[in-house]
Amino acid sequence: ATQWAESQADLSVRENAMADVALAMAGTDPIAAAEYVQRLAPGDRKFNAIDSIAYRWSLKDLAASTTWALALSVEQGRDYAVFQVGAGRASGDLAAALDWASQQPAGVTRDNALGGVAYIMARTDPARARSIAEGLAGGIGRTRALAAVAAKQAQ
């Protein structure tokens, strides 16, 4: 599948196919998926694939997915990966996820981890999620968490 995806002449088709291959790999071999997705050019396709890989991987192995996410550079998608590892952790245990997120390096990394937790928390406790999100300095963690709170409140 990787050879076929990479052999596509049209750039858009190739990038979409490569992202789809990475997502398929994430379910069975997240390490291979994490390595493969780095072949994509920076942009929405790559970051959307990183989102999915990080979330799926965090459900299987929080420690390994955290190590991977924190090792990425910003250009490689660290902010997206950390957010989704937080969201994945929160899907299973909100209290443990908050504890995990609060232990992440201070600054953007912790904000994105807490944003991922607040994003999931918005489903059941939008007021608390909003409080957490509003305390974040900025970035995708704050933006996505506040969007989840707004969506829940609009229902």
Question: How far is residue 34's CA from residue 28's CA, in Å, rounded to a whole number?
Answer: 12
pLDDT per position as a tens digit, 59-97: 999 999 999 999 999 988 999 999 999 999 999 999 999
How far apart are the C-alpha atoms of 80 and 50, rounded to whole Å?
A: 7
**CA-to-CA separations, 54 to 35, 127, 130, in angstroms, rounded:** 12, 26, 23
**pLDDT at position 119, please?**
95
Q: How many CB atoms lie within 10 A of CB 44?
A: 9
